[in-house]
Amino acid sequence: MNKTDCMAVLPTGYGKSLPYQMYSLVNRRLTSDKEIVLVCCPLVALMQDQVEKMSKIPGVKSAYAGSCPQSDIEIKEGKVDIIYASPETLVGDPEWRASIQNLPVSVLVIDEFHTIATWGDDSESQGKETFRKWFNDVGELRSLYPRSSVLALSATCTIKIRKRVMKVLHLADNFKEIVISPNKTNIRISVAKVSNTVETAMHWLIEGLSELKEKFPRTIIYCTSIKDVSEIYSYVTKELPFTSTLLEMFHSETPQTKKQRILESLTNITGEIKIVIATSALGMGLDVKNCHSVVLFGPPVQIVDLLQEIGRVGRDGGPSVAIILYNCYHLRKLSSDVKEILKSTDCRRISLMQCFLKPEAIALLKENESRKHTCCDLCKTKCKCQNCSMLPLEEIYYHSSVSVNQKDSDISDSDTEEYFSNDENLELS
């Protein structure tokens, strides 16, 4: 309300959208002037969700650009209080840019601002086309609305990315920074090296499903490519045909109707789908019900994406586990931050959080969380509580896979060490 720029990193479920959503209601009581909130948002699914939620609040009209011709007309005529649009629309589309640049925008919101760096930064593209180049130019919106204040929001952001985004958005010197730790103490982190072949690396899944069937704990399995998603899905359904009703794939090429059905099942506590094998397309804003298990078959390249995928589970605060599986092929494109977690010999959580928290917060984390069996697989070996236990997915994985993955692995320790010790020769993306 006092027109101060603000950058806020708040965990999922913290209500980070409420400040700008309430602004329209509060501002209307304070002034008769028409003022608009413009939200730059990376995903259509997020915009749809926000507009649907806002439709239940009387007195505030919201819409997202491109949803339908009538909404687009109302947006351009200034009849919408909260406008949602993608960077491609706001910055990259000359027609849209010209039609909205004279609107009385008082607050400019950059939602999921970490995507400016993770999707729009071309500094490490090595000649490849940037994923979504207009993300890197959202700072231009400040020139369109020089009198507006900026609210940058994210649930997950490293210290390095925050510094970069400050420059891109030209935040004022007196901007307010609010950062809540992204550490989720209810999620235990485990790491395991596996075979290069899907059949060997994921044999534990076959054994677990064979025994438990529909009682298998609800689990998300993230892969780094559609190819891996398809291979795992084909392997399981071929070996166990009955799993076709328990298992689904989710990626960018999945038909929209099927995506919707999967999402409805995942957000229903009694949904019949037990396992979803997915790429990062199953992403931001997802609130999976009754899910306390996630497997990363190959960690993502960037540490921000790693933290987000781990955080998809345990939203209710219940004990949860994230198992990160990797082989030598997965290591080739990883950032140095992610590789530090895999090769850590002390504490995975500390290695993960060092990119997100300042030294004083890390010191507190070491004091309160490290060396507990609930922290990570490394800390579990040092825990002295004499009451250590495993969660259901850990029981399935470790009891069925130890003999397979350790005795019949395609990758030796020396192979892994070679990849870790030659970071400068590895392609980063």
CA 132/CA 149 separation, integer angstroms: 25
Q: Residue 129: its pLDDT value, please?
A: 55
**Do 233 and 345 belong together in one domain?**
yes
Q: Residue 130: its pLDDT value, please?
A: 56
Q: Residue 30: its pLDDT value, please?
A: 75
Mean pLDDT of 74-101: 93
Q: Residue 120: its pLDDT value, please?
A: 65
Q: Which residue has the higher pLDDT, 33 or 266?
A: 266
**What ranges in 189-302 are assigned the alpha helix state H?**
198-201, 203-212, 226-239, 256-266
Judged against a pLDDT cut of 60, whether residue 381 lies above it is answered with: yes
Q: What percent of the chain has pLDDT over 70?
A: 90
**Do 374 and 301 belong together in one domain?**
yes
**Do 95 and 194 belong together in one domain?**
no
**Do 302 and 367 belong together in one domain?**
yes
Element (H, E) at 30: helix 18-30
Judged against a pLDDT cut of 80, whether residue 29 lies above it is answered with: no
Question: Where is average pLDDT lowest: 22-26, 157-161, 225-229, 285-289?
Answer: 285-289
Mean pLDDT of 180-193: 94
Give domain status of residue 296, yes or no: yes
Q: Residue 56: its pLDDT value, please?
A: 87
Give domain status of residue 97, yes or no: yes
Helix axes 226-239, 203-212, angle to 10 degrees: 40
Give domain status of residue 1, yes or no: no
Give domain status of residue 147, yes or no: yes
Give domain status of residue 330, yes or no: yes
**Do 121 and 191 belong together in one domain?**
no
Burial class (CB in 10 A: 0-12, 13-18, 19+), 212: middle
For the question of whether the overall pTM of this predicted structure is more than 0.95, the answer is: no
Give domain status of residue 119, yes or no: yes
Element (H, E) at 83: strand 82-85
Under the banding of pLDDT at 50, 70 and 90, the label for residue 414 is: very low
Q: Residue 95: its pLDDT value, please?
A: 93
**Do 171 and 205 belong together in one domain?**
no
Mean pLDDT of 330-341: 93
DSSP string for residues in 100-137:
HTTS-EEEEEEETTTHHHHTT--TT-TTSPPTTGGGGG
**Do 142 and 254 belong together in one domain?**
no
Helix axes 392-407, 203-212, angle to 10 degrees: 140
Q: pLDDT by residue (tens digit) across 206-243?
A: 999 999 999 999 999 999 999 999 999 999 999 999 99
**Do 154 and 217 belong together in one domain?**
no
Q: pLDDT by residue (tens digit) across 118-142?
A: 776 655 444 455 557 777 888 899 9
Give domain status of residue 360, yes or no: yes
Mean pLDDT of 414-428: 45
The number of distinct structural domains making up the chain is 2
Q: pLDDT by residue (tens digit) across 271-324?
A: 999 999 999 989 766 778 899 999 999 999 999 999 999 999 998 999 999 999
Q: Residue 119: its pLDDT value, please?
A: 74
Out of 121, 145, 179, pick the residue that ends a domain. Answer: 179
Residue 333 sits in a domain whose CATH number is 3.40.50.300
Judged against a pLDDT cut of 80, whether residue 325 lies above it is answered with: yes
Judged against a pLDDT cut of 70, whether residue 411 lies above it is answered with: no
CA 361/CA 353 separation, integer angstroms: 9
Out of 146, 179, 212, pick the residue that ends a domain. Answer: 179
Mean pLDDT of 63-83: 94
**Do 249 and 146 belong together in one domain?**
no
**Do 94 and 205 belong together in one domain?**
no
Mean pLDDT of 20-26: 85
Task: Name residue 308's amino acid.
Answer: Q
Element (H, E) at 48: helix 44-54
- Domain assignment of residue 44, given as a range: 6-179
Out of 111, 145, 179, pick the residue that ends a domain. Answer: 179
**Do 394 and 414 belong together in one domain?**
yes
Mean per-residue pLDDT over the chain, rounded: 87
**Do 253 and 367 belong together in one domain?**
yes
Question: Where is average pLDDT lowest: 306-320, 379-393, 396-410?
Answer: 396-410
Give domain status of residue 37, yes or no: yes
CA 11/CA 13 separation, integer angstroms: 6
